[in-house]
Amino acid sequence: MMFKTDNKMRAGLSALALMIGAALPAAAFAQDASNAAPADGGGDPNQPRLGWYKTCAKQDDADICIVQNLIMANNGQLVTAVGLISVDGKVTRKILQISVPTARLIPPGITMQIDGGKGQKLDYAVCLPDKCTAEVPVTDAMVASLKKGTDVTFTSINFRRAPNPIKISLTGFGAAFDGPAISDSKLAESQKSLQDSMQKKAEEARKKLEDAQKAAKAQ
């Protein structure tokens, strides 16, 4: 399903595409978050992550800064992308965008809940072959709640009509939001560390499978 987008929306979606591409060029969206990660998403300490960080770049005539967090499964698939996007230029806007895997029910949208408080619905702005993206304007009250909060949960509904809640720790959000953008060298270093960790986990999983197969043959 594809929705029509105006110039402002295109600017925001382009920014989110840059965010995802810069963070993990080789990652693909999981077809179903329920198959890719535990229900608490960011609650798994062994799940690969970069945490909250800010990137800034120039796109056409606009300056774009994004405070972001990417949740990935241990197999490297991206489960949820969160971006608070600030666009300054001919188009000026501040939006929160959440991208989740495809095969979502559209009417329910994505529900955002901070520390078990009242949920806020985010309507989908566009669904592409690899992801569905919802958005809502960023307000001062929203930023204040995120800074004070412990965690935020984003819940989408998959095609089986099952909720897929992804919980993300808010530790480090305030520092990323108020602080400077991460340098290219630091981001590259963090990416390499993340990829090395993912490769190590993949190797460990492969070895466990081989050991299990050998044990089965020995019986």
Residues 6+ apart with CB under 8 A from 29: 77, 78, 79, 99, 101, 102, 130, 131
Q: Report pLDDT digits (tens) over 153-189.
A: 999 999 999 999 999 999 999 999 999 998 666 666 6
Q: Report pLDDT digits (tens) over 9-64.
A: 444 444 554 444 444 333 333 333 333 333 333 445 455 467 899 999 888 888 99
By DSSP bridging, strand 78-88 and strand 62-72 are antiparallel
Q: What is the pLDDT of residue 83?
A: 95
How many whole angstroms separate alpha carbon 74 and alpha carbon 23?
16
- Kindly report the number of other CB atoms within 10 A of residue 84's CB atom: 22
Q: Is the pTM of this model over 0.75?
A: no
Task: Kindly compute the dihedral angle of the four CA atoms of residues 22, 24, 27, 33, in this order, to the nearest 10 degrees.
Answer: -100
Q: Report pLDDT digits (tens) over 196-213.
A: 666 676 677 778 887 788
Predicted confidence (pLDDT) at residue 141 exceeds the cutoff of 80: yes
Q: What is the pLDDT of residue 136?
A: 95
Q: What is the pLDDT of residue 64?
A: 92
Give the bridge partners for 62, in sequence order: 59
Query: For tokens 């229900």, what's the residue?
Result: 39
Query: For tokens 């819940």, what's the residue?
Result: 155
**Max Cα-Cα span within the chain:** 70
Please choose, from the candidates 55, 79, 69, 29, the residue with its C-alpha nearest in 3D space to the C-alpha of residue 187: 55
How many whole angstroms separate alpha carbon 68 and alpha carbon 99?
11
Q: Report pLDDT digits (tens) over 57-115.
A: 888 888 999 999 988 877 767 789 999 999 998 888 999 999 999 999 999 999 999 99
Structure tokens at 31: 């077809």
Residues 6+ apart with CB under 8 A from 206: none
Q: Where are the domains of the chain?
A: 7-183
Q: What architecture is domain 7-183?
A: Sandwich (2.60)
Structure tokens at 95: 């939006």
